[in-house]
Structure 1
Amino acid sequence: MEVRFTAHAEKQLVVRRLSKDLVLEALFAPDQVIQQETGISIYQRRDTGDGKEYLVRVVVRLEGSTQVVLTAYRTSKIQKYWRDDL
């Protein structure tokens, strides 16, 4: 499957200091995938950095056989986004 980053996503990776490797790791080996009603999926993966645990969230829209990364970010608010019901 092909992966494409939007211009917005590319910019946000720089601003948020996230590597593409980290985003692709979350995309191809997620701990959770949350399906949204709008056809958008959120791929989540726990990550450790600076001695703290974070959640990397990658927002993706499927266009044919291409996964389009809309945005990605890292958050320390794991409990807010983690879904135990999945």
Structure 2
Amino acid sequence: MKYIISRHAQTEMERRNISKAVVESVLNAPGQVVPEKEGRKVYQSKINFGSGKTFLLRVILVDDVDPAVVITVYKTSKIEKYWR
């Protein structure tokens, strides 16, 4: 999939200490793809960031444009809330 990472998403990745390599791995092999608002999807995977605790990494992108645009990225411990 071709995509670009928005400036906002890049800023949030830096602020949240999430590497581009991890984001790319989720986009290339997501644990789940969840439809959200029209034109948006969430690519998500369960990941251990080395702390011994598993987090859900959620990559939100607009996919009705070419290339797709990653609009934000975040990790959460609330896996049950988002995992379907």
Structure 1: tracts of 5 or more residues without a match: none
Give the corresponding residue for 1:32.
Answer: 32
Question: Match of 2:62, SS?
Answer: strand
Give the corresponding residue for 2:62.
Answer: 61
Q: In the alignment, is residue 48 of structure 1 matched against residue 45 of structure 2?
A: no
Deviation for aligned residue 1:2: 1.7
Decide which moves more: 4-13 or 56-65: 56-65
Cα distance in structure 2, aligned partners of 1:67 and 1:27: 11
Q: In the alignment, is residue 74 of structure 1 matched against residue 75 of structure 2?
A: yes
Structure 2: tracts of 5 or more residues without a match: none
Decide which moves more: 55-64 or 41-50: 55-64
Question: Match of 1:44, SS?
Answer: strand
Count of residues paired in the alignment: 83
1:2 corresponds to which letter in structure 2? K
Cα distance in structure 2, aligned partners of 1:42 and 1:60: 6
Question: Match of 2:38, SS?
Answer: coil
CA 1:63–1:37 in structure 2 vs 1: closer, same or farther (change >3 Å)? closer
Report the TM-score, using the length of structure 1 for normalisation. Answer: 0.89
Cα distance in structure 2, aligned partners of 1:10 and 1:37: 22
Deviating above 3 A after TM superposition, structure 1's stretches of 4 or more consecutive aligned residues are none
Between structures 1 and 2, the one with greater strand share: 1
